[in-house]
Amino acid sequence: MTQFRVGPFEPIAEGIYLAVAEPAGVNVGLVVGPEGALVIDTGSSPEQGAAIRAAAEAVAGVPVTAVVVTHWHYDHLFGLAGFTGVASFGHENLTAWLSRPEAHHDAAELGVDPTSLVAPNTTFALAKVIDAGGRRVEALHFGPAHTDGDVVVFVPDAGVVFVGDLLESADDPSFGPDCHLRDWPVALDGILGMTRAESVIIPGHGPAMDRMDAFDQRSRISALYGQVEFVINQGKLVDDAYEAAEWPFTEATVRTALPVAYAQFAAAGVTPKRQLPLV
Ligand SMILES: [Zn+2]
């Protein structure tokens, strides 16, 4: 049985708090306005979402009046059903994922009833201003990257930005089959463009990052893409790819990412060309 726990909300800026929801170690944000509060990401089950909502209201001293989901992965989305009656926001590509086999698989693994899961009641394509109880928050989509429905949440009066799994500091970024490797650095360029040296960047998992951390991770994701392109051009098949180049992430991360990347290159018509040995 999965153990769902939510750590305490700790202050990170004026009226902004951060809690960690286990077992996924996912960051949950809380932005408190004069008359209501906004929660960013919801945990891994409806019950965990309800626990997050209660903990958030205890810290905020005002009701939770809005919630944003940064992307469709279970540890960010499945708790949304615990926020009944609250205005909820997410990217328009997110909703379709709830009916996909991957969502049902994740729900079964967690012991969560898939029919209890809900999508945000307001979706958007590019940008949305969200009222956090009288405090202005902006949600932005910079194109496909970690998923095709990633949302970045910006609190302008505090210089804090919640980026979901577009960036990670607890571990390497997660390169699942639904990521878009070529486009990912472009989305991170959007984050680099909207932040300043003093900005606080909250990744999906792990401690706060700054702009240079984001720049470094953007470079390494771009390098991963470039190295895959290099080994494909060398004629290396996916099983031989790891040994054929230097890589910007751990071996486990790269070995997970390689089949995903090869499939994406193949979909674009780029496959290893076999060469006859020279004699
Ligand atoms: Zn994710």
Tell me the CA–centroid distance for residue 71 and ligand 1, in Å: 7
Domain residues for 157? 5-218
pLDDT at position 276, please?
66
Q: What's the 165 CA to ligand 1 centre distance in angstroms?
A: 5
Provide the terminal-to-terminal Cα distance of the chain, rounded to the nearest Å: 61
Q: What's CA 182's distance to the chain center, in Å?
A: 16
Q: For residue 196, how far is its CA from the centre of ligand 1 (angstroms)?
A: 25
Which residues are paired to 162 by β-bridges?
153, 202
In a domain, 13, yes or no: yes
| Residues 155 and 12: beta-carbon distance below 8 Å | no
Residues near ion ligand 1 (CB < 5 Å) are: 73, 165
How many whole angstroms from 176 Cα to the centroid of ligand 1? 8
pLDDT value of position 277: 66
The answer to the question of residue 131 being in a domain is: yes
Q: The domain spanning residue 147 has which CATH number?
A: 3.60.15.10
Give CA 54 to chain center in angstroms.
Answer: 23
Q: Is the peptide bond before 23 cis (omega within 30 degrees of 0)?
A: yes
DSSP state of 272: P
The pLDDT of residue 279 is 63
From CA 76, how far away is CA 62, in angstroms rounded?
23
Q: Please report the pLDDT score of residue 3 as a whole number.
A: 80
Nearest by Cα to 184 from 228, 231, 236: 228
In a domain, 177, yes or no: yes
Structure tokens at 34: 């004069």
* Residue 101 belongs to some domain of the structure: yes
247 occurs within a structural domain: no
Instruction: Please give the distance, rounded to the nearest whole angstrom, from the Cα atom of residue 73 to the centre of ligand 1.
Output: 5
Cα separation, 152 vs 140, in Å, equals: 5
C-alpha of residue 60 to centroid of ligand 1, in Å? 27
Q: Does residue 42 sit within a domain?
A: yes
Whether 266 is covered by a domain: the verdict is: no
Residue 170 C-alpha to ligand 1 middle, in angstroms? 13
For the chain, what is the domain count? 1
Would you state the pLDDT for residue 176?
A: 96
Question: Is residue 256 in a domain?
Answer: no
191 near 163, Cβ under 8 Å? yes
pLDDT tens digit at each of 279 positions of the chain:
678 999 999 999 999 999 999 999 999 999 999 999 999 999 999 999 999 999 999 999 999 999 999 999 999 999 999 999 999 999 999 999 888 999 999 999 999 999 999 999 999 999 999 999 999 999 999 999 999 999 999 999 999 999 999 999 999 999 999 999 999 999 999 999 999 999 999 999 999 999 999 999 999 999 999 999 999 999 999 999 999 999 999 999 999 999 999 999 999 999 998 766 666
